[in-house]
Chains A and B, each alone.
Chain A
Amino acid sequence: MNLLTTIGFLPLIAALVIAFLPKTNQELIKKVAFVATTLIALASLLLATGFDRAQTGFQFTQSTSWISAFNINYAVGIDGISLALILLSTILVPIVILATWHESDVGRWGSKVFYILILVLETMMIGVFAATDLFLFYVFFEAMLIPIYFLIGGYGSGEKSAAAVKFLLYSLFGGLLMLASIIGIYVIAGNQIGATFDLTELAKLQIDDTTENFLFLGFFIAFAIKAPLVPFHTWLPDAAKSATPGTSVLLLGVLDKVGTYGMIRFCIALFPDASKTFTPYIITLAVISILYGAFMAIGQRDIKGLIAFTSISHFGFITMGIFAMTSQAMSGATLYMVNHGFSTAALFLIAGWMIKRRGSSTIADFGGLQRVTPVMAWLFFIAGMSSLALPGLSSFVSEFLVLVGTYTRYPVAAIIGTFGIVLAALYILIPIQKTLHGPTTPGNEGMADLSLREKLAIAPVIAVIIAMGFYPKPVLDLINPSAEKVVVTAGFTDPAAKVGK
């Protein structure tokens, strides 16, 4: 059996195993979930070792007929971009499980359902990045909303059911717009080359300009809701505030990447001409997102809200990089997706521990944690620095690549975007100063530092953040050829460097 398919279905099998474990034995359930996802993460490394970097086409491909009446296939395959994101997903899941060991104890339906949902979600996350059949992608894209919805609504805090519904309705709305576009492109394919959902085949279609623009918008709005761009972002802060930290990591770290991934894989690959037409507007939206997210983050009083808005700012950078249509910016954007996944994971997990210990998520309630919980404070500091793209930490490389790549084509956007970095210093440093430094404020004195389990969980994330900051080459080598191929097949060439006068 195909390795990719096997890895995709392993979480589902683990979920089935858990379904038959006794509900009361929570420890056993957690251990099974952790061991299974760790094994899956290791197995997914096999994908990376077996991946031929010289080749730019899809690898580990498999295609089996699913709904023959519409020529829908279970077709999967990965290139460098999807591989990087699958690795991100499979590595983050066991970390999240270990880091939030007790998250599910107080939830609505107990640990069993929680881990089943997480594992089902993992299958869908792998599927959505691996699908090379448009219909299959859509199925995963929509179906993955359901486990997340129950994770937020059943295990979150505060206004959780309202947040869960808001998230679901926004996503469904986007998804249905995309469905209209999918139907459109399917029918056009039927008229031109015969009904198909195969991505490489669909990319060859000749679509007239007006239709292409509308089809493009259907896809783009769906993705802009998923990887929230202003003005489609309002669900994200609510969802992030209400979800448990672990769910938030998966939501912001992986699920939202489906949006930016979709822009690369579908918007640009299927509709290169429309992408060209809309690029100026999208770049504008992206720049607005960068600044808006940053300003809103500065104003946040809630730690989770803060991280959510920083993410909106970061998604602005990623989108800008994608639509700058230079190979540099495209690689940078893809790398950014991976890096953002890890740095958000670090921020959310540590913030989650802080909130759990203090019993509050308001920034003002914290103070002087550096003295009481030095390890946690230092790790939070590193995660924060990564988020503001300090050189030497992972995000710097990607942010730099995005800005340089964008500058060659859209200098003004790149320059305005750079202000985002300055604002990032504000939105990260102010809360860090408030929570970590200064005298220890009342209520924080007795706080316990990280336990061994928590240290073990966060260690790999911090290690990746630092390692990728100094030596991003292995991942970049993986991404570069695919990123370049996207730009070239869309009909763009990198602008030649201009010599200054």
Chain B
Amino acid sequence: MLTAPSLIYSLLAPMLIVLAGAVIGVLVEAFVGRAHRAAIQLTLSLGALSLALIQLWRIRDQFSTTAAVGSVVIDRAGIFLQGTILILSIVALLLVADQDNFVSKASAIPGSIEEAEATKTGDQQTEIFPLFLFAVAGMMLFPVANDLLTLFVALEVFSLPLYLLAGLSRRRRLLSQEAALKYFLLGAYSSAFFLFGAAFLYGLSGTLSISGIAQAIAASAGNDIFVLLGIIFISVGLLFKISAAPFHAWTPDVYQGAPTPITGFMAACTKVAAFGAILRIFYVGFAGVYTEWRPMITTIAIITMILGSVVAIAQRDIKRMLAYSSIAHAGFLLSGIVALNKDALAASLFYLFAYGMATIAAFGLISLIRDSAGEVTDLNHWVGLGKRSPLIAGSFAFLLLTFAGIPLTSGFVGKFAIFSAAYQSGNIGLVVVGVLSSAIAAFFYIRVIILMFFSDPQNDSVSIIIPTVKSRIAISTAMVSSVVLGLAPSLLLNSATSFANFIK
């Protein structure tokens, strides 16, 4: 006779609430009339995310490795990461809710009459809300997954909706669909790598649980080659998600092609989820054999930082530029993995939150800058934006300075925290490269500021749309938290420090 598995529902509730919201969302699609869907879906999604956040707050001091028969571990760092994902998702959701970024009828062929009619009648593809919630649920599961199989399931749960969402841009649909396809193919490819690595580690240790693998690795001193192969292949799958070089090739295309709010959501939340998982798997699973993987991750971090910073210089499209900037930031964050100490974990938690907020705000602002054909992402058309709209251009300039890590911004605090942790662990070379690539990166951030402020507008076709209330709330929330985190980082840094704890 089988005994029913015992689940600690209160600890799993945040994820379950989001999943329930997603399922109800699908039902709403089936049963509610077209006219009311958008409002209901938005309320439902916001409600689910907020409820999940509240529940997360209530369990913030609890921890357990057996919440779901050992496949999920709830601990301080996991709760912090989940909270970060939820908060960022709520902000991003308000941007996503601005439907005019999304295609009116995804099944219609781009440029067809059917599409034009759907647009004219004001049709909306409200399925984006449940898809969004599924992605969020997957992201929440990813950093708390305690065995490789759950990790893989979570990876797919959040990736599949993202592949779809990336292809739903209203304008330049072919580009968007191309991006989605690329993302899907490469993503599937990297998932295969991940599974391959998981197979190696399973073969070696006979278990899928991360802590079990840690013990097996410690016990099997002779099997270095299998450990290394396992780590390498699993890393490939994970590094793909954080767009570390040389697995970054999808990033610029997808960032450019996806609807801008989705780009913001992806850039912020995927990073948090994927880094959360990487942090856990390396800090808990592979910490014992750090001499094996440290040179590899160090090299990747260095390549990623330099490549992101250097290639960004050549970009003429703001979304592609921010894509390369996110690659460079992934490199900085990888320093936190290499450092492998508690300070680095706290620094990464802070960095992820601060970077996520700034990223969402940046993509929110980008979606406001339009001409007759839709969003204007070509930097040549950004010339003189400071004259046309000082507030938007000024805010964007502030975010660029945040990405560049100028003091008094949250980006600087994050960078300082993570580099000092890396220095502490003896990886001084990494710090020097990081600092130098920051100097290179400063160049292209500043170039955008010059374009906006020091040149006169050339074409008048570009205009700045008045944001809706939802976008306004989202952008200003993200902006204000970026400013506050720059001036008073202690507000978050102290809790990041107290939450920087993985249990085994």
Q: Which residue numbers of A lie inside 8 Å of B, CB to CB?
A: 65-70, 108-109, 138-143, 145-146, 150, 153-154, 160-161, 164-165, 168-169, 172-173, 176-177, 179-180, 183-184, 186-187, 190
With A and B bound together, what is the CA distance between A382 and B478 in angstroms?
A: 55
A183 near B494 with CB under 8 A, answer no
Q: Given contacts A154-B453, A172-B442, list 20 more A-B pairs with CB under 8 A.
A: A67-B490, A69-B494, A108-B454, A139-B407, A142-B406, A142-B407, A143-B408, A168-B446, A169-B443, A172-B439, A176-B435, A177-B435, A179-B419, A179-B435, A183-B416, A183-B419, A183-B423, A184-B423, A186-B420, A187-B420
Chain B residues, Cβ within 8 Å of A187: 420, 423-424
Closest residue of A by beta carbon distance from B436:
A176
B196 to chain A, nearest CB (A): 38
B337 to chain A, nearest CB (A): 18
B490 near A68 with CB under 8 A, answer yes
* CB interface residues, B 378-423, toward A, < 8 Å: 390, 401, 406-408, 413, 416-417, 419-420, 423
With A and B bound together, what is the CA distance between A173 and B450 in angstroms?
A: 18
B407 near A143 with CB under 8 A, answer yes
A67 touches which one: B447, B453, B489 (CB < 8 A)?
B489
Chain B residues, Cβ within 8 Å of A142: 406-407
B416 to chain A, nearest CB (A): 7
Closest residue of B by beta carbon distance from A180:
B435
A150 touches which one: B420, B443, B453, B493 (CB < 8 A)?
B453
B407 near A138 with CB under 8 A, answer yes
A177 to chain B, nearest CB (A): 7
B406 touches which one: A146, A164, A165, A190 (CB < 8 A)?
A146
7 contacts between A and B (CB under 8 A): A67-B413, A67-B489, A138-B407, A143-B407, A168-B442, A180-B419, A187-B424
* CB interface residues, B 283-335, toward A, < 8 Å: none
With A and B bound together, what is the CA distance between A6 and B390 in angstroms?
A: 31
With A and B bound together, what is the CA distance between A116 and B420 in angstroms?
A: 34
B454 near A176 with CB under 8 A, answer no
B424 near A169 with CB under 8 A, answer no
Chain A residues, Cβ within 8 Å of B439: 169, 172-173, 176
With A and B bound together, what is the CA distance between A180 and B489 in angstroms?
A: 20
Chain A residues, Cβ within 8 Å of B390: 109
Q: Which residue numbers of B lie inside 8 Å of A, CB to CB?
A: 346, 390, 401, 406-408, 413, 416-417, 419-420, 423-424, 428, 431-432, 435-436, 438-439, 442-443, 446-447, 450, 453-455, 489-490, 493-494, 496-497
A169 near B442 with CB under 8 A, answer yes
Given known contacts A66-B490, A179-B435, A187-B420, is B454 in contact with A153 (CB within 8 Å)? yes
Given known contacts A142-B406, A168-B446, is B428 in contact with A184 (CB within 8 Å)? yes
A110 to chain B, nearest CB (A): 11
Given known contacts A143-B407, A183-B431, A184-B428, is B438 in contact with A176 (CB within 8 Å)? yes
Closest residue of B by beta carbon distance from A172:
B442
Chain A residues, Cβ within 8 Å of B416: 70, 179, 183
With A and B bound together, what is the CA distance between A304 and B348 in angstroms?
A: 47
With A and B bound together, what is the CA distance between A176 and B404 in angstroms?
A: 11
A153 near B453 with CB under 8 A, answer yes
Closest residue of A by beta carbon distance from B497:
A69
B494 near A154 with CB under 8 A, answer no
Q: Would you call the interface of chain A mostly helix, strand, loop, or mixed? A: helix
B296 to chain A, nearest CB (A): 23
Chain B residues, Cβ within 8 Å of A67: 413, 489-490, 493
B474 to chain A, nearest CB (A): 26
Closest residue of B by beta carbon distance from A145:
B406
Q: Which of A109, A139, A173, A179 has the most CB of B within 10 A?
A: A179
With A and B bound together, what is the CA distance between A273 and B316 in angstroms?
A: 48
Chain A residues, Cβ within 8 Å of B417: 69-70
A183 touches which one: B346, B420, B436, B493 (CB < 8 A)?
B420
With A and B bound together, what is the CA distance between A389 and B438 in angstroms?
A: 42
B454 touches which one: A140, A160, A179 (CB < 8 A)?
A160
Chain B residues, Cβ within 8 Å of A180: 419, 431-432, 435
Closest residue of A by beta carbon distance from B454:
A161
With A and B bound together, what is the CA distance between A186 and B401 in angstroms?
A: 24
Closest residue of B by beta carbon distance from A160:
B454
Given known contacts A176-B435, A179-B416, is B450 in contact with A153 (CB within 8 Å)? yes
User: Sorted from nearest, which 3 A-B pairs have the closest CB atoms?
Assistant: A161-B454, A139-B407, A69-B493
Chain B residues, Cβ within 8 Å of A140: 407
Chain B residues, Cβ within 8 Å of A165: 446-447, 450
Chain A residues, Cβ within 8 Å of B453: 108, 150, 153-154
With A and B bound together, what is the CA distance between A141 and B406 in angstroms?
A: 10
With A and B bound together, what is the CA distance between A154 and B453 in angstroms?
A: 8
Closest residue of A by beta carbon distance from B422:
A183
A98 to chain B, nearest CB (A): 27
Given known contacts A138-B407, A161-B454, A183-B419, is B401 in contact with A146 (CB within 8 Å)? yes
B500 to chain A, nearest CB (A): 10
With A and B bound together, what is the CA distance between A65 and B491 in angstroms?
A: 12
With A and B bound together, what is the CA distance between A481 and B340 in angstroms?
A: 47
With A and B bound together, what is the CA distance between A179 and B413 in angstroms?
A: 12
Given known contacts A179-B416, A183-B431, A187-B423, is B406 in contact with A143 (CB within 8 Å)? yes
A68 near B446 with CB under 8 A, answer no
B494 near A70 with CB under 8 A, answer no
With A and B bound together, what is the CA distance between A70 and B439 in angstroms?
A: 23
B185 to chain A, nearest CB (A): 38
Chain A residues, Cβ within 8 Å of B431: 180, 183-184
With A and B bound together, what is the CA distance between A160 and B453 in angstroms?
A: 12
With A and B bound together, what is the CA distance between A406 and B265 in angstroms?
A: 61
Chain B residues, Cβ within 8 Å of A186: 420, 423
Chain B residues, Cβ within 8 Å of A173: 439
B329 to chain A, nearest CB (A): 16
A161 near B450 with CB under 8 A, answer yes
Given known contacts A143-B406, A184-B428, is B494 in contact with A68 (CB within 8 Å)? yes
Closest residue of A by beta carbon distance from B398:
A146
Closest residue of A by beta carbon distance from B443:
A169
With A and B bound together, what is the CA distance between A179 and B428 in angstroms?
A: 12
Closest residue of A by beta carbon distance from B434:
A180
Chain B residues, Cβ within 8 Å of A176: 435-436, 438-439, 442
B397 to chain A, nearest CB (A): 9
A417 to chain B, nearest CB (A): 33
A154 near B406 with CB under 8 A, answer no
Chain B residues, Cβ within 8 Å of A184: 423, 428, 431
Q: Which of B401, B442, B454, B494 has the most CB of A within 10 A?
A: B454
With A and B bound together, what is the CA distance between A145 and B346 in angstroms?
A: 30
With A and B bound together, what is the CA distance between A177 and B433 in angstroms?
A: 10
Q: Which of A143, A172, A183, A184 has the most CB of B within 10 A?
A: A183
With A and B bound together, what is the CA distance between A139 and B413 in angstroms?
A: 10
A217 to chain B, nearest CB (A): 12
B455 near A161 with CB under 8 A, answer yes
Chain A residues, Cβ within 8 Å of B489: 67, 69
With A and B bound together, what is the CA distance between A183 and B407 in angstroms?
A: 14
Chain B residues, Cβ within 8 Å of A154: 453-454
With A and B bound together, what is the CA distance between A108 and B455 in angstroms?
A: 10
With A and B bound together, what is the CA distance between A143 and B402 in angstroms?
A: 12
B325 to chain A, nearest CB (A): 16
B446 near A169 with CB under 8 A, answer yes
Closest residue of A by beta carbon distance from B419:
A183
